[in-house]
Amino acid sequence: MLTVLVIGASRGIGLEIVRQYLEAGERVIATARDDAGLERLRELGAEPLRVDVADPASVSGLAWSLDGEELDVALYVAGVLDPHGAKTPPTREAFDRVMHANVLGLMQAMPQVMPAVEAAGGVFAAFSSEMSQVGLVDGSDAWLYRVSKAAVNMAVASARHSYPGATCVALDPGWVQTDMGGGAAPLTVECSVAGLRRVLASLAPEDNGRLIHHDGRRAASW
């Protein structure tokens, strides 16, 4: 039985990850920031933890909550979107909201979580996006979101050197039918998560630090 941690699991992709791993018979620890999210996780059979990734004090409690754990898989799913393009300067509030959730939360969570991942020789994956790839930029929509996910890639690629006992990757779930992705997205959340689970189960040493897509494609460039 695997022990899986999902950070940001109250809805969408995170909640589906919890459901699929539990259905496969794995043990799942999952975080949400409010009572409703915690109750959804509890009803599924996960072990819920209250964590708000935008609050450094809340994230710092992860190390205490995970004391003695060995995590085979740890996933940082939490993230927010700002849809504005490059013709609109981001406000300080928008910048803080996106960068705190997508980047600062990740960079604060990794040192709390990685000892438990290394103890299991496990995998840590942060959710990124195809929109993060500088070599493949096809537009300026979601300008701030693109920048934040490029930073996620760098955070993962850099941090892996401090945790040689684990594998660290960035994952692209694809364009998914969630509140963030919208109804026009081509992928169901079930299909995306099934693909991501296959990727996580098939990682090789050379994947450490890479961006990997839900369908198994390894990104050729960042």
Q: State the pLDDT at residue 88.
A: 87
Q: Yes or no: say if 148 and 190 are a contact pair by the CB < 8 Å rule.
A: no
Q: Which two three-digit tokens encode residue 105? A: 């939360």
Mean pLDDT of 70-94: 94
Handedness of CA 66, 70, 189, 220 (dihedral sign): positive
Convert the pLDDT of each residue in 87-135 to its tens digit: 989 999 999 999 999 999 999 999 999 999 999 999 999 999 877 777 7
Q: State the pLDDT at residue 69.
A: 96
Instruction: Give kind and range of the element (H or E) at residue 5.
Output: strand 3-7
Convert the pLDDT of each residue in 37-49 to its tens digit: 999 999 999 999 9
Taking the C-alpha atoms of residue 130 and residue 214, their distance in angstroms, rounded to an integer, is: 10
CA angle 71, 214, 217 (to 5 degrees): 110
Closest by Cα among 101, 152, 100 to 126: 152
Q: Yes or no: say if 76 and 7 are a contact pair by the CB < 8 Å rule.
A: yes
Q: Yes or no: say if 3 and 72 are a contact pair by the CB < 8 Å rule.
A: yes
Q: Yes or no: say if 213 and 172 are a contact pair by the CB < 8 Å rule.
A: yes
Helices first, then strands: H and E counts in the chain: 8, 7
On whether the 3-213 domain is CATH 3.40.50.880, my answer is: no
Q: What is the Cβ-side half-sphere exposure of residue 140, based on CA atoms within 13 angstroms?
A: 6
Q: Give, in order, the Cα–Cα distances in Å from 73 to each of 9, 36, 157, 181, 216.
A: 14, 25, 17, 25, 17
Q: State the pLDDT at residue 112.
A: 96
Query: Do the bridges between strand 27-32 and strand 3-7 make them parallel or antiparallel, or are there none, so unpaired?
Result: parallel
Taking the C-alpha atoms of residue 128 and residue 79, their distance in angstroms, rounded to an integer, is: 9
Per-domain residue ranges of the chain: 3-213
Taking the C-alpha atoms of residue 181 and residue 159, their distance in angstroms, rounded to an integer, is: 28
Tokens 């995170």 correspond to what residue? 14
Q: Which two three-digit tokens encode residue 55? A: 């609050």
Query: Do the bridges between strand 167-172 and strand 123-127 make them parallel or antiparallel, or are there none, so unpaired?
Result: parallel
DSSP 8-state assignment for residue 104: I
Q: State the pLDDT at residue 221.
A: 59
Mean pLDDT of the chain: 92
Q: Which two three-digit tokens encode residue 191? A: 């299909």
Convert the pLDDT of each residue in 132-154 to its tens digit: 777 777 778 889 999 999 999 99
Taking the C-alpha atoms of residue 173 and residue 76, their distance in angstroms, rounded to an integer, is: 12
Convert the pLDDT of each residue in 165-209 to its tens digit: 999 999 999 777 766 667 776 778 899 999 999 999 999 999 999
Specify the range with the lowest mean pLDDT, choosing from 10-14, 186-190, 214-218.
Answer: 186-190
